[in-house]
């Protein structure tokens, strides 16, 4: 480590409060004359002085964990540093530029440039009527300065009166917005101030002072990279129809069958007892919620099914199913949507990883995230009681009766241990002679199965089941998988926790209905159960759909996700398949068949209406050794080595994208990709999640990759976190970043993962919330905000979300918040939305070159050369396969004229900004911005890294990113 250098950016922040406190001391003591000892330079020996010479506030506070003397010495050292800096500034009459100057510095620089603007801070010189303290040449002497003496720096002093300070801060923000011309931010700031946030919200969108071209060029370089990555993600989501409003089931005319119960309260807040769990105004069978699960479902009511589509599909040479509007188009290889190739995908992925590992970008993202966290803490200090008061004004609603969705829970572990234990004992008493298993060439009854393991129903207990993940499973995913076996016996797991067994999953269906009954009785808890399709045979889909439909496992509280375990290496070792393409075929071919002709798999067609997405599961901590310099296509992947995580997700994304475009044209619901990501292993998994996934589960490794964390914040990517699960497997509860993510504004929700292994109570989701509230000190508003996030992340139909959160729940900010439904005060939503708008305004300002009035070129080459965009039709396009073009405006097969790709101008989903995505072609790995004729930096055209001294630009190290 080198010699410590003063942090000039922080010194300006600290000086104003310090000077203000000095000003207060002088004002409150007008009788003081002559020099006084400066408290900033108090000797460390002051603790040894007699008690009568020490002020009561300076007396040592003896606690078990606080070293008063050390704290005082550290504060004195910092104060001396600030003072020396001021002395240096007085001699040089200038200060070094700061990359992160406070809002006040920006404002003052603007006022110096615009003398015709009135200075709202000049009135502060009149606050000190008696005089103010100023430093003499000696650091330990202070003298009184009368109010009549001129003081050019007094305008930086803080006001004593808090109301006047609030007014001044608001005036400052308004004037600054007028100077900088930031319209959208001004609107957001006005809405926040009208909500009563006061000085808790930021007064400047950027917080940067454009003091030099070097700083601005560095910010522009970083923000251009960030914007390009966000553009790239928006195009991947637009291609695969995973964005908001892309799913036909979110349309107002979508019918949910069986229909959900009508609300018990209407808009006039009148109570209608007849509507409790009773859809009285809807035709069809009726049942009370929590009773007779599935009795309101009748397969005959869904007949006739849609007719066969004239379109066709084929598996191309890259093992991606392509959809064609005719056989002629199939012969000509002109699909309705162009899917990026595996090479294009990895080039885009490398671009994300290169930026996320870039030193200056990481440092920048870390500072922005720290700023967001500190800003929320300031907001909480200033508005905690106001939020509490707003919540108390809401009738009827509290944390227990706001809707909560368990966004990540595995179906085979959806019950707690006590529930499973009671069910097993019940079956042992009621049907011990039922044949439940065929093994080793003979049929076994339930009694014979338990006799073979030397157990009776009386012997069973929670300890005997041994299914709870204790400390022995920490960092041992293999042991955790064994916890799914009751009493350590795989035969019991096959009998009670499998859908495809000798009894066709009847026991699991019965216990599932019991869990559904508990959910419906609680009314306010919803689940998205993840159930497995292994990819071992083409019949898996039909068996799973028959299990759901035949057992009538339909409920307004339940939706399904399909999880695909990454177990190709197991199948290959056992001789079940020859290459990886067989897994893709077994998983996706039945889906394309049922989309073309629903009558070919009628039960599967009905089941898919309740499926919201796909998941990819397995132990992420497994090492991924790259055996190939260039990955082979799945048809040629015939080794026993399991493909890497990124390889699995690409082929899931590519086939889902092709499938979704066809299903939307047919008016069927589409699917999203929500994999396990960032639980352990390589942090690069998070880059895949950012690039092509709707949302992710776990995501705890984001704490190690600040740039990706900042990107997840900017695009509000959903993260379903399970701290109790992580505590047992990979990360202790106190180190879990869930609370930090929440404070910084990331879109996080709480989920249970595996109640069978981690939960102790009958309501696992409430248990998850309660533990988080106790450990992280979450308030009631925090809990309701997490619950609202879970509804937003879920795949429930928009009509249900509007019923749960309000009619405008799809709108951002206060406009989409209904405090009577969500119990989240408008002041909290205004703060979150305005903060996000502020970060996006930075991107618009610096990535578009508004900081200096021009944009710099960020790639080596002739100055002014720009990269052709896929929106530029006049530019040559050497690789048409890497373009993302799709027309998904129509949902019927009749619009054949729109079947082929047209250019897209997409807006990044879930972002409140108005910027238009104009990124380079996917797969190019290029990062550039259309530049002017002037370059900044060295001879290679790269901007100099002055914002972070000592760090060399990434392209200066590598030469090029292509």
d(CA 97, CA 95): 6
Rg (CA), the chain: 32
Q: Which residue from 15, 102, 231 is spatially nearest to 691, judged by alpha carbons?
A: 231
**CA-to-CA dists, residue 891 to 213, 521, 708, angstroms:** 50, 37, 35
Structural element, H or E, at residue 427: helix 417-430
Given the DSSP bridges, would you call strands 141-145 and 132-135 parallel, antiparallel or unpaired?
antiparallel
Using the structure block, give the residue that is written with the tokens 């007699």.
50
Long-range contacts formed by 311-316: CB under 8 A, 24+ apart: 311/336, 311/596, 311/662, 311/893, 312/596, 313/592, 313/596, 313/658, 313/662, 315/585, 315/589
For residue 550, with 0-12 CB atoms within 10 Å meaning exposed, 13-18 middle and 19 or more buried, which class applies? Answer: middle
Given the DSSP bridges, would you call strands 676-677 and 404-410 parallel, antiparallel or unpaired?
unpaired
Peptide bond into 258 cis (omega under 30): yes
- Helix, strand and coil content of the chain, in percent to the nearest 5, comes to 50, 10, 45
Active site residue 676: no
d(CA 522, CA 947): 54
**CA-to-CA dists, residue 400 to 260, 722, 765, 803, 822, angstroms:** 20, 19, 11, 17, 11
**End-to-end CA gap in the chain:** 35
Largest CA distance in the chain: 105
Beta partners for residue 698, in sequence order: 677
| 573 in Cβ contact with 627 (< 8 Å) | no
Peptide bond into 304 cis (omega under 30): yes
d(CA 838, CA 183): 11
- CB environment 604-626: b (16+ within 10 A), e (fewer): bbbbbbbbbbbbbbbbbebebee
Beta partners for residue 748, in sequence order: 719
Q: Which residue from 693, 665, 401 is spatially nearest to 522, judged by alpha carbons?
A: 401
Helices (H) and strands (E) in the chain, counts: 31, 16
| 702 in Cβ contact with 367 (< 8 Å) | no
d(CA 127, CA 132): 10
Beta partners for residue 615, in sequence order: 563
Strand order through the sheet with 404-410: 404-410, 525-532, 558-565, 611-617, 672-673
Peptide bond into 203 cis (omega under 30): no
Q: Which residue from 234, 127, 347 is spatially nearest to 881, judged by alpha carbons?
A: 347
**CA-to-CA dists, residue 573 to 577, 638, 639, angstroms:** 9, 11, 9
Catalytic residue among 698, 789, 833, 953: 698
3-state SS assignment for residue 719: strand
d(CA 457, CA 494): 18
Residues involved in catalysis: 698
């Amino acid at each position: 480590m080198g010699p410590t250098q003063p942090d000039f950016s922080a010194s300006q922040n600290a000086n104003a409060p310090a000077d203000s406190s000095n000003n207060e001391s002088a004002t409150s003591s007008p009788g003081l004359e002559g020099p006084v000892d400066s408290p900033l330079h108090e000797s460390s020996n002051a603790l040894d002085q007699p008690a009568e010479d020490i002020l009561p506030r300076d007396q040592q506070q003896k606690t078990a964990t606080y070293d008063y003397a050390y704290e005082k010495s550290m504060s004195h050292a910092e104060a001396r540093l600030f003072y020396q800096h001021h002395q240096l500034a007085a001699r040089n009459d200038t200060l070094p530029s700061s990359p992160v100057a406070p809002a006040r510095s920006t404002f003052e620089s603007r006022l110096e440039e615009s003398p015709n603007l009135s200075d709202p801070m000049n009135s502060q010189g009149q606050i000190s009527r008696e005089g103010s303290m100023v430093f003499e040449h000696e650091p330990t002497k202070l003298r009184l300065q009368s109010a009549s003496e001129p003081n050019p720096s007094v305008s930086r002093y803080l006001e004593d009166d808090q109301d006047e300070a609030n007014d001044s801060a608001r005036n400052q923000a308004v004037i600054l917005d007028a100077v900088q011309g930031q319209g959208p931010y001004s609107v957001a700031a006005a809405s926040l101030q009208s909500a009563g946030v006061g000085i808790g919200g930021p007064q400047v969108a950027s917080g940067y002072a454009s003091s030099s071209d070097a700083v601005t060029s560095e910010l522009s370089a970083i923000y251009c990279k960030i914007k390009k990555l966000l553009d790239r993600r928006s195009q991947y989501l637009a291609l695969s129809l995973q964005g908001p409003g892309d799913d036909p089931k979110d349309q107002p005319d979508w019918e949910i069958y069986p229909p959900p119960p009508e609300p018990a309260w209407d808009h006039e807040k009148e109570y209608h007892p007849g509507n409790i769990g009773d859809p009285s105004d809807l035709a069809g069978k009726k049942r009370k919620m929590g009773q007779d699960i599935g009795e309101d479902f009748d397969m005959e009511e869904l007949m006739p099914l849609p007719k066969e589509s004239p379109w066709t599909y084929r598996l191309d040479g890259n093992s991606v199913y392509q959809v064609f509007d005719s056989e002629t188009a199939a012969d000509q290889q002109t699909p309705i949507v162009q899917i990026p190739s595996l090479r294009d995908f990895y080039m885009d992925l490398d671009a994300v990883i290169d930026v996320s590992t870039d030193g200056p970008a990481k440092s920048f993202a870390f500072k922005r995230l720290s700023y967001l966290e500190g800003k929320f803490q300031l907001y909480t200090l200033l508005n905690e009681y106001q939020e509490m008061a707003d919540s108390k004004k809401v009738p009827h609603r509290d944390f227990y009766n706001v809707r909560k969705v368990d966004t990540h829970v595995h179906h085979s572990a959806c019950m707690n241990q006590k529930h499973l234990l009671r069910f097993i004992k019940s079956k042992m008493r009621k049907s011990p002679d039922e044949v439940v298993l065929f093994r080793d060439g003979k049929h076994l009854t339930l009694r014979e199965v338990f006799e073979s393991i030397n157990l009776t129903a009386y012997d069973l207990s929670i300890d005997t089941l041994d299914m709870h993940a204790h400390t022995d499973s920490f960092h041992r995913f293999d042991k955790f998988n064994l916890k799914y076996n009751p009493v350590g016996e795989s035969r019991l797991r096959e009998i009670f926790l499998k859908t495809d067994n000798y009894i066709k999953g009847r026991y699991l269906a019965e216990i599932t209905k019991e869990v559904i009954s508990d959910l419906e009785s609680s009314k306010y808890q919803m689940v998205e159960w993840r159930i497995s399709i292994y990819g071992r045979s083409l019949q898996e889909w039909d068996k799973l759909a028959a299990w759901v439909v035949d057992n009538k496992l339909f409920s307004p509280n339940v939706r399904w996700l399909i999880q695909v375990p990454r177990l190709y290496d197991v199948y290959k070792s056992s001789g079940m398949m020859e290459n990886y393409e067989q897994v893709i075929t077994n998983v996706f071919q039945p889906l394309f068949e049922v989309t073309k002709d629903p009558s070919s798999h009628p039960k599967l067609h009905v089941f898919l209406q309740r499926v919201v997405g796909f998941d990819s599961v397995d132990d992420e901590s497994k090492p991924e050794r790259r055996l190939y310099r260039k990955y082979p296509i799945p048809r040629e992947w015939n080794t026993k080595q399991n493909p890497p995580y990124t390889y699995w997700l690409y082929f899931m994304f590519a086939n889902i994208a092709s499938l979704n475009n066809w299903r939307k044209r047919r008016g069927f619901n589409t699917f999203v990709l929500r994999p396990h990501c960032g639980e352990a292993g390589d942090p690069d998994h998070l880059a895949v999640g950012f690039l092509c996934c709707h949302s992710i589960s776990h995501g705890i490794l984001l704490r190690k990759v600040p740039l990706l964390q900042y990107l997840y914040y900017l695009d509000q990517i959903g993260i379903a976190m399970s701290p109790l699960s992580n505590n047992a497997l990979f990360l202790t509860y106190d180190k879990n970043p869930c609370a930090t993510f929440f404070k910084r504004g990331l879109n996080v929700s709480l989920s249970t993962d595996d109640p069978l292994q981690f939960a102790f109570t009958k309501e696992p989701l409430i248990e998850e919330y309660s533990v988080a509230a106790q450990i992280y000190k979450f308030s009631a508003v925090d809990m309701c905000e997490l619950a609202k996030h879970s509804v937003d992340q879920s795949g429930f139909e928009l009509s249900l979300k509007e019923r749960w959160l309000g009619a405008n729940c799809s709108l951002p900010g206060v406009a989409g918040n209904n405090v009577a439904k969500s119990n989240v005060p408008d002041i909290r939503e205004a703060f979150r939305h305005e903060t996000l708008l502020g970060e996006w305004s930075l991107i618009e300002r610096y990535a578009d070159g508004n900081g200096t009035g021009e944009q710099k070129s960020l790639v080596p080459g002739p100055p002014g050369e720009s990269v052709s965009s896929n929106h530029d039709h006049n530019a040559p396009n050497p690789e048409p396969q890497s373009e993302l073009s799709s027309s998904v405006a129509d949902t019927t097969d009749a619009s054949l004229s729109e079947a082929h790709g047209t250019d897209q101008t997409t807006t990044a989903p879930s972002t409140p900004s108005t910027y238009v995505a104009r990124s380079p072609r996917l797969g190019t790995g290029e990062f550039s911005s259309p530049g002017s004729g002037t370059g900044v930096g060295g001879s290679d055209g790269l901007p100099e890294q002055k914002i972070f001294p000592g760090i060399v630009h990434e392209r200066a190290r590598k030469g090029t990113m292509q």
